[in-house]
Amino acid sequence: MTAYRDQYASLFNDGQNVVVVGISNDSQADLGAWLKDADFPFVFASDAANNGATYTRFGGALRPNNMVDSRAVIVVGPDGRIAGVIPAFNQNDPTAYEQLGAIVDAVTPEAAQ
């Protein structure tokens, strides 16, 4: 997620009009510490206590072991609706950012120009 943080302004127009949520089965304490230490400009959510229920409400599908996929990303558009779900966001894969950017651009076309 550090690469995403570092590309946030240029790729996603500083997050204008969208909310990006990274969701995992990591504990709230672990995610909070990581978020604070790395100064991320987006939201992390823990689904550890809910056994994946929060993630499925956002439109994600659980793995066979009922766990959230590793570092799932949910994009909420300016209308408050789910614009896209990336079930397994690989922060080391440049194509992951292309996929995320395409979702953001689809709901904020003015930002893509």
What is the CA angle 21-1-7, rounded to 5? Answer: 95
Q: Maximum distance among all alpha carbons in the chain?
A: 42
Give pLDDT, residue 10: 66
Give pLDDT, residue 113: 47
Give pLDDT, residue 26: 77
Question: What is the tens place of the pLDDT at every residue in 58-113?
Answer: 766 666 766 665 678 888 888 899 999 887 787 778 788 888 888 888 888 664 44
**61: domain range?**
2-89
Q: Can you say whether the dihedral through the CA atoms of 84, 21, 78, 108 is positive or negative? A: negative
Give domain status of residue 15, yes or no: yes
Residue 7 sits in a domain whose CATH number is 3.40.30.10
Give domain status of residue 105, yes or no: no
Give domain status of residue 110, yes or no: no
Give domain status of residue 95, yes or no: no
Give domain status of residue 109, yes or no: no
Q: Taking the model in full, what pTM does it have?
A: 0.72
Domain count, the chain: 1
DSSP symbols for the chain: -HHHHHHHHHHHGGGTT-EEEEEESS-HHHHHHHHHHHT-SSEEEE-TTTTTHHHHHTT----TTS-PPTTEEEEE-TTSSEEEEESS--TT-HHHHHHHHHHHHHH-HHHH-
Nearest to 77 by CA among 12, 32, 5, 25: 12
